[in-house]
Amino acid sequence: MSHTGENEQGLRKIVDLTRFASIFILLLHFYYYCYTAFKQWEFRSTITDRLMANIMHTGLFSSQYTSKFIAIGLLVISLLGAQGKKDEKINWKAVAGYLLIGILLFFSSGILFRLNYSLENIAIIYMVVTGLGFLLILAGGNLLSRLIRLNLSNDVFNSLNETFPQEERLLTNEYAINLPARYNLKGRIRKVG
């Protein structure tokens, strides 16, 4: 399979668009469920109210979790196409930590609406906790996609992309030039010739 610059650029645009759609749905979620606070802050208009009334008919806000699941679903789709730097120091514990804490914060933040604070304070706390959960899921998902890509690839280059397996046998013929050398492969120094 050939990887051309146009293919990678097209994939990056799709990934970015999907991630943007995920963030947009999360922002709509905040606007809908924290509407009273937005109204008190005067961050509303008749256009946004009309838009939200039309979106309500789609069932996006039928429950608090519907829009959250759609936002996370789009985020997961965007992470499937994400390519990150090769980092061999990623471990499963870090990935699991980010994902578990992020999912816990993201999906349990609805409990905050039961607090006895002002609606404005609850809205701020809710948006911060939910947004933090979303960012942790994003970070954990990026690490997970890198870890999966790293484990599935059989890259012969080291982490610095400097070396690859060399011919180590002594070849003798009229065209052979054998130079003694040493090289680093997977953390071990190997001799040539």
Rounded Cα–Cα distance for residues 50 and 42 (Å): 16
Backbone angles phi, psi at 155, to 5 degrees: -75, 125
* Per-residue confidence (pLDDT) for residue 88, from 0 to 100: 62
* Per-residue confidence (pLDDT) for residue 135, from 0 to 100: 96
Q: How far is CA 164 from CA 38, 156, 157, 160, in A?
A: 58, 5, 5, 11
* Per-residue confidence (pLDDT) for residue 6, from 0 to 100: 73
Hey, where are the domains in the chain?
A: 5-152, 157-193
Backbone angles phi, psi at 182, to 5 degrees: -135, 145
* Per-residue confidence (pLDDT) for residue 52, from 0 to 100: 86
| Residues whose CB is less than 8 angstroms from the CB of residue 85 and which lie 6 or more positions away in sequence, other chains included | 146
Q: What pTM was computed for the model? A: 0.72
Q: Is 188 left (phi over 0), alpha (psi -120 to 50) or beta?
A: beta
* Per-residue confidence (pLDDT) for residue 137, from 0 to 100: 95
**pLDDT averaged per 10 residues in sequence order, the chain, 193 residues:** 67 89 94 89 86 86 91 91 65 90 94 89 94 95 81 57 69 80 76 73
* Per-residue confidence (pLDDT) for residue 152, from 0 to 100: 65
